[in-house]
Structure 1
Amino acid sequence: MESEHFILPFDGSMLSLSNAPHRGGLTRANGFFFMRVPKNYSGDYKRDCAEFEEKHRLRDFVGFMTAAEVRNVLAVARSGSVKAYVTAGITNPAIAGEEPPPWKPGTINVALVINEGLTVGAMANAIMTATEAKTYTLLRLGYNATGTTSDGIGVFAFEGEVEWAGTATALGMSIGRAVRKALEESLRRWERTRRK
């Protein structure tokens, strides 16, 4: 990890499904990064992410952005074949379906690296399960929110035959546990940075 950013190269190419600002959607990826940006960032995110990738000599990486201090809030948790990487900042909490408050910078990024072979449908299912775990964690910890207005999520897995990743499956249980643990720790770290 660099002082301001986090870069994770994979051992080999993985299938990626995400809403990341850099190479989001369904693609193949050699890794991912969490790129720190200024709190009031309003730049050209496509250009800035591409320049970040070039500067760090990365190729075909998926890129997320955050104004949170990555080195202080990044939390990682493993459960079964799932490893969750989370950076949390929740200065702009929101509830799905309700008018959001005035915008402030703040994002929860969740990247799941799954060491199994999944179908694309199972990857979509994994996003659903991870989002449920994120929302439950926020509500359980007393945040009146289902997320923030700019959350990012990505699932990285090998292409394979596993079709389901919902809450009734062993894989879904691992996703839920990893996300809950990593998000809770990241939020604890973020709260500490606010008190400084």
Structure 2
Amino acid sequence: MEEHFILHFSTPRIALSNAPHRGGLTTANGFFFMMVPKNYSGDYKADCLAFERERGLREFVGFMTAADIGKILSTAKSGSVTAYVTAGITNPAIAGEVPPPWRPGTINIVLVIEEGLTVGAMANAIMTATEAKTYTLLRLGYNATGTTSDGIGVFAFEGEKEWAGTATELGINIGKAVRKALEESLKKWEGKGVHFPPTAR
């Protein structure tokens, strides 16, 4: 298995994310999941840029994780939406509560949507994906709404579709894809013999 994951788009897309590399609102030719050591404390901006340049990539959005990407990456497709998820949850957290001492562990969720969206709809898609993530964690028995270092990104074409909430067909597809891919990734992660901290289950 590869220790990193790179996806090239056939044509550039609009991207909205909190990625450590080229996060925010931008255009992208693809994205990558970059694997880092579990005790990583480097210069993430410089390291992501070096990763991109060393592989001949240009204008990619980059995410980082200490999880074994080759073993835990999961994808799921529903309608026009494909979700790419890497899940590690050794540092679970509940929104609004002081988290336990930090440990490496991240849930990365990337949505590639084969539709034309407004920026508002892309923000709506992030909201829907986050709801699906939290529901999946709670349903599987994790006492958490996420981790302290989660990453999310939406990639779509520029267009006129304005909504991606839970009442829309697009939002339903986002929810289905995220739930399936995240559950699969978590089960792969659990299968590696990971021991859960007390707050995780």
Please report the TM-score for the alignment, with normalisation by the length of structure 1. 0.98
Spell out, residue by residue over 1:18-70, the C-alpha distance to the aligned partner (whole angstroms, 9 max, x if none).
Answer: 00000000000000000000001000000000000001100000000000000
Look up the match of 1:137. 136
Match in the other structure for 1:6: 5
Residue deviations 1:54-111 (CA, integer Å, cap 9, x gap): 0110000000000000000000000000000000000000000000000000000000
Task: Give the residue type in structure 2 aligned to 1:181.
Answer: K
Report the number of matched residues: 195
What is the CA distance between 1:194 and its match in structure 2?
Answer: 2.5
Q: 1:121 to 1:96 in 2, by over 3 A?
A: same
1:49 alignment counterpart: 48
Instruction: Give me the whole-angstrom Cα distance separating, in 1, the residues matched to 2:189 and 2:33.
Output: 16
Aligned-pair CA distance for 1:193 = 1.3
Alignment gaps of 5+ in structure 2: 196-201
SS of 1:103 mapped into structure 2 = coil
1:15 to 2:9 alignment:
no
1:106 corresponds to? 105
Which ranges in structure 1 are unaligned for 5 or more consecutive residues?
none
Q: After the TM superposition, which residues 1-196 of structure 1 pair with which residues of structure 2 at under 5 Å, given as runs?
A: 3-194=2-193
Q: Partner letter of residue 171 of structure 1?
A: L
Counterparts of 1:195 and 1:146, CA distance in 2: 19
Runs of 4+ in 1 over 6 A off after TM superposition: none
CA RMSD of aligned residues (A): 1.0
For residues 55 and 139 of structure 1, the distance between their equivalents in structure 2, rounded to whole angstroms, comes to 40
Identical pairs, percent? 77
- 1:82-141 per-residue CA deviation (whole Å, 9 max, x = no partner) reads 000000000000000000000000000000000000000000000000000000000000
